Amino acid sequence: MDVLHSLSAFLGYLLSILTSPSTLLLLFGSTILGIVFGALPGLTATLGVALLTTLTYSLDTGPALVSLLGIYVGAVYGGSYGSIMINIPGTAAAAATALDGYPKALRGEAGVAIGLTTTASFLGTMVGMFFVVVFTPIISFLALQFTSFEFFLLAFFGILISGSISTPDLVQKGWIAGFFGLFLAVVGRDPLQFYPRFTLGFPQLEGGIEVVPVLIGAFGIPQIIQVLKDRFVTAKAQQVGRVIPSWNKIIHNIPHIVRSALIGVGIGAVPGIGEDIAAWVSYGTAKNTSKHPELFGTGCDEGIIASETANNACIGGAMIPLLSLGIPGSPPAAMLLGALLLHGIAPGPMLHVEQPTFVFQVSAILLMASAAMYISGILLAPQVVKLLRVPPALFMPIVAVLCLIGSYALGLKIFNLYLMVPIGILAYYMGELGYPIPPLVIGVILGTMADENLRRALMVSQGSFLPFVTRPVALLLLLVIVATIITSTSTFKTLKAQWQKRGAST
Amino acid sequence: MMDKSKLRGADFITSLFLIAFGVWILVQAFQMPMKDTYGGVVNVWYVSPALFPLFIGIGIILLALNILVHALKTGGYQVFREFLLTKKKVHITEKGYRFLAILVPLLSLVYMNLPRIDFFLSILMFLLFFIPVFYFDDFPLLKKLLVFYSIEMGVLFLLFLTGIDRTLTRSFRYTLDILTLGLIMALYLFIRSCIGGQEDYRRKLRHALLISILTPLFLVPVFRFFLRVPLPKEGGIVDLLFILYYAIR
C-alpha cells in the first residue's frame, strides 16, 4: 500500500467520523465517560475499556472501536484531575502528575495545571498516533517473515519482559505470574489433538477459559476489594477556576514534550507495560536532565508535562505491538485485544494483509479521540472535577455489578462468573504478595499462541531445536530472552554493583 | 502490597504451594498422550498436548524454588515460624471485617442468588447491603449489618439446599421473588433501626436506596431490551418490566 493510498484511507476514516453525527456523539460520550472514569480514584482505564466492551458488543466494529479508544484516551488523561485537585491520582498513570500538579493547585493555579495536562495529553496522543501509522505496517511486514519459531519466542519474550518490568518485588514473581497466565490459557481442549487438559471434569472448561471474564476479574475485582477494604477516601478538592491551555508554556517546553512522547511510545511498545511506568520514567528523565531539578515537586510545568505527555503517548505505543504482532502493549490494550477478538478481528501480522486499512482506521479514531479529549477537557473540567466529591463507596458497588453483568453478557454463561470471581480474588492476593497482574493477563492472551507455535515449529523441524539458533530473528529473540533472564538474576546485579563500585573508586 | 518483613514469610509458604502446583501440572501432563496413540493419531513427543504444560510446570517449579531459596536466605522461615507461634487465637481485624463485607455479598450474589433469584431483585439486595455498609464508614454498624445480611443469605442458602424453593415456586411462580422482596424490606428496616435518628446516616441511606433501585432499573432495560441479553434469572420484576416495555412500545 503506497503513501497516497494510506493517506486517503486515513482521511477517508477521518471524514467518515466527522460527517456522522451519531459517531461523533459516541466519540464525545465515550471520551467524557473515560475522563470521568479516569478522574474517579479507584476506576482505571482498563476497567473502563473492560466495562464498555460489553456495552459495545452489539455495535459494528467501527463504532465499537470509536467508543473503546475514546474511553481509553479519556481515562488516561482524566487520571490527572484527581492528582491535581485532591492529590489522589485517579489512575496509576497519573501518580507522577500529582507531584507537581497538586502543589500548583495549592498555589491557586489548578486551572493552569489542568490546561497544561490537557494540552500535553493531546500532544502525547498525537505523537503516539503518528508512530502507530508509521511503525505498525513496518513491523507487520517484518512479522510476516516470522515462522512458528519466532512467534513462540516472541510470546515468551512478551511474558518475560512484562514480568521483569511490572514486578514490584522479585523478578521471579513477575515470571511466575506470566506462567500462571500460560497455565490458564492451556485449560480446555488442546487445539491440535483435541485432548482435554486440566478441565477437572467440568464440561464448561472444555472450550477453554474465556479471556474477557479473566481480564475483568483480574483487573476489576482486586480494584474493588482494595478501594473498599483500604477505605479509600476523597479529599477536599481545590478550586479549579478557568482552564487555560497555555500554548506559550507548551511551545517553550517542546523539547520536553518530544522526549516524553518518545519515552511514552517506547515504553508503550513493550508488552504489558502500562502508562504508569511511562509516566514515571518520563518524569524521572525530565528531572534528571533539567537545569533546575530542585523545582520538581514544587509545582513546575516540566514535571506535569513530562508525565502527562508520556502516559498518553503510551496509548499509541501500546497499539503498535497489538496491531502488528497481536501482543498488547499495556493492560488497557490487553482489554482492547479481547474486545477486538469479540468483534472477529484478530490483531497480528495477518491483519495488515486481510484488512490493510485497519491501522489507519485506528489512527483516525485516535486522532479524533484526542481532539474530543482536548475539547471536553477544556470545556468540562470544572464540572468533572465536582465528581471527585463522590465517595468510592457509592460507585464501587455499581462497578462490581457492571463487572459481573459484563462477564456474563459476553458469553451468556453463568460459569464465566463462577470463574471470574475466584480469579479476581486470587489476583487480589497475588497483588498483596507482590505478584504483578499484567504478566498474568499477557500469559492468558499469549498462551495459545505460544503453545500452538511451539508444537508447530517442532513439527516442521521434526523435533529439532536447531532452528531456534539457525534462524537469525529466532536467534536474536533467543539472545534477548537470555539477556533478560541473566540481567534479572541477583548474581548479575551483585557483579554489576561491584563493577560500578570499582569503576567509581578508580 | 504486604510490607517486606511479612512478605518473606509469605514468600516461604507461597513458594511451597507453587512448587506443589507445578508438580500437580507435571503429574497431569504425564497422564496426557505422549508417544502413544490418541484418537487414531500416532503421537510423537513434540506434538503431544503435554509438551506445553510440561514447559509451564517445570518453569513454575524452578521459579518457585528460586523464591523459596530467597525467602530462606532472607529469614522467611523464621518470620513464618514466629507467625505460627504467636498466632494463638484467630482475631479478625477491622480490615478483615471489611474484606468479609465484600466477599459475603459478592460470593452469595454470584454463586447463589444470580442463577436463582430475579436479576433485578438480586442486584437490589446486593447493592442495598454493599453500598451502605461502606458508605456509612462506621465499623460497629458494619459488623451488625454483616451479621444480619449473612443470616439472610443463610436463610436463602437453606432454602436452596433443601429444595424448598422449588416446592414454593411450583405452587406460585413468584413465591421466591416475594420472599426476596421481604428480605430486602427486612434489610432496609434493620438498617433504619440501626441508624436511628442520625440525619447524616439517614441521608446516606436514602442515597444508597436510590442508587440500589436505579442501577438495576437502568441495567435491565439496557441489557435485556437493547442488547437482547437474556438475564441469568428472569422473575417477577423483569417480567413486569417486560410488560411495561411492550406496553410503551
Put simply, the chain A residues between 156 and 195 with a CB less than 8 A from any chain B CB are 168-170, 172-173, 175-176, 179-180, 182-183, 186, 190, 192-195
Nearest to B110 among A172, A193, A418 (CB): A418
Residue A121 and residue A361: Cα distance in Å, rounded?
A: 21
CB contact under 8 A, B1 and A180: no
Region A426-440: mean pLDDT is 91
Q: Is A25's pLDDT higher than 90? A: yes
For cell 504486604, name the residue.
B2
Q: How far apart are CA A174 and CA A482, in angstroms?
A: 16
Best residue of A419, A433, A468 to probe chain B, by most B CBs closer than 10 Å: A433
In chain A, residues with a C-beta closer than 8 Å to the C-beta of B68 are: none
Does B215 contact A396 at a Cβ distance shorter than 8 Å?
no
Check B98 against A409: CB less than 8 A apart. Answer: no
Tell me the C-alpha distance between B13 and B8, whole Å: 9
Helix (H, G, I), strand (E, B) or coil at A465: coil
How does pLDDT run across A471-494, given as a tens digit for each residue? 998 999 999 999 988 888 778 888
Give the residue, A481 or A249, on which the prediction is more confident. A481
For chain A, what's the residue count?
A: 506
Paired strand residues for B42: B37
- Looking at residue B25, its pLDDT comes to 96
Which of chain B's residues have a Cβ under 8 Å away from the Cβ of A199? none
- Say if residues A14 and A27 touch (Cβ distance below 8 Å): no
3-state DSSP of chain B: CCCHHHHHHHHHHHHHHHHHHHHHHHHHHHCCCCCCEECCEECCHHHCCCHHHHHHHHHHHHHHHHHHHHHHHCCHHHHHHHHHHHCCCCCCCHHHHHHHHHHHHHHHHHHHHCCCCCHHHHHHHHHHHHHHHHHCCCHHHHHHHHHHHHHHHHHHHHHHHHCHHHHHHHHCCCHHHHHHHHHHHHHHHHHHHHHCCCHHHHHHHHHHHHHHHHHHHHHHHHHHHHCCCCCCCCCHHHHHHHHHHHHHC
By C-alpha distance, the chain B residue nearest A167 is B1
Enumerate the residues of chain B whose CB falls inside 8 A of the CB of residue A418.
110-111
Q: Which of B63, B127, B229 comes nearest A401 by C-beta?
A: B127
**Mean pLDDT of the residues in chain A:** 87
Quick check: B39 and A193 CB within 8 A? yes
> pLDDT, tens digit, for every residue of A204-248?
899 888 888 888 888 889 888 988 887 766 666 667 777 777 778
CA distances from B69 to A466, B9, B20, B63 (A): 33, 12, 15, 10
Q: Minimal Cα–Cα distance from A184 to chain B, Å?
A: 10
- The predicted-structure confidence for A79-131, as pLDDT tens digits, reads as follows 898 888 887 777 778 888 888 888 888 888 888 889 899 999 999 999 999 99
Number of residues in chain B: 249
* Cα nearest neighbour of A189 on chain B: B49
Whole-number Å distance between alpha carbons of A118 and B40: 63
Collect the ranges in chain B with pLDDT lower than 50. none
Q: Which residue has the higher pLDDT, A44 or A397?
A: A397
Q: Which residues contact B122 (CB under 8 A, 6 or more apart)?
A: B109, B113, B114, B180, B233
CA B212 to chain centre: 19
Contact list in B for residue A434 (CB cut-off 8 A) is 1-2, 7, 11
Chain B residue with CA closest to A404: the answer is B110
Reduced to 3 states, what is the DSSP secondary structure of residue A365? helix
- As beta bridge partners, residue A196 has A189
What is the rounded average pLDDT of the residues A395-404?
Answer: 89
Spatial separation of the C-alpha atoms in residues A464 and A471, rounded to whole Å: 13
| A158-182: average pLDDT | 89
**Which residue in A284, A251, A311 sits closest to A80, CA to CA?**
A311
CA-based nearest residue to A363, from A140, A137, A144: A137
ipTM > 0.90 for the complex: yes
Give me the phi and psi of A80, to 5 degrees please: -70, -20
- Cell numbers found for residue A227: 478501594
- Give the pLDDT of residue A233: 64
Closest chain A residue to the Cα of B68, Cα to Cα: A172
pLDDT for the residue A15: 92
Res A487: pLDDT: 87
Place of cell 487438559: A197
Question: CA-to-CA distance for B45 and B38, rounded, in angstroms?
Answer: 12
Residue pair A193/B33 in contact (Cβ under 8 Å)? The answer is: yes
Q: ∠A423-A429-A435 over CA atoms, to 5°?
A: 95
Nearest-neighbour CA in chain A from B192: distance (Å): 18
Interface of A with B in 195-254 (CB under 8 A): 195, 197-198, 221, 224-225, 228-231
Q: Pick A412's closest partner by Cβ from B49, B67, B229.
A: B229
Q: How far is CA B38 from CA A298, A402, B35, B42, in A?
A: 68, 43, 9, 7
CA gap A79, A93 in Å, rounded: 7
Of A176, A231, A412, the CB nearest to B64: A176
pLDDT on residue A35: 92
Cα separation, A475 vs B233, whole angstroms: 54
A143-155 per-position pLDDT tens digit: 888 889 998 998 8
Cβ neighbors of B106 (< 8 A, separation 6 or more) are: A221, A400, A421
d(CA B21, CA B133): 37
* Pairwise pLDDT comparison (A385 vs B132), residue with the higher score: B132
Asked whether the predicted pLDDT for residue A410 surpasses 80, the reply is no
- Share of residues in chain A with pLDDT > 90 (%): 34
Question: What angle is formed at CA B58 by the lines to CA A463 and CA A195, rounded to 5 degrees?
Answer: 60
Separation of alpha carbons B204 and B227, rounded Å:
33
For residue A373, the one-letter residue type is M
CB A296 within 8 A of CB A302: yes
The confidence score (pLDDT) of residue B88 equals 62
Chain B nearest CA to A162, separation (Å): 16
Beta bridge partners of B37: B42
DSSP A237: P
The predicted pLDDT at position B87 comes to: 67
- Chain-chain contact of A397 with B111 (C-beta, under 8 angstroms): no
Contact list in B for residue A412 (CB cut-off 8 A) is 229-230
Would you call A229 and B98 a contact, using CB atoms and an 8 Å cutoff?
Answer: yes
DSSP A8-60: HHHHHHHHHHHT-HHHHHHHHHHHHHHHHHHHSTT--HHHHHHHHHHHTTTS-
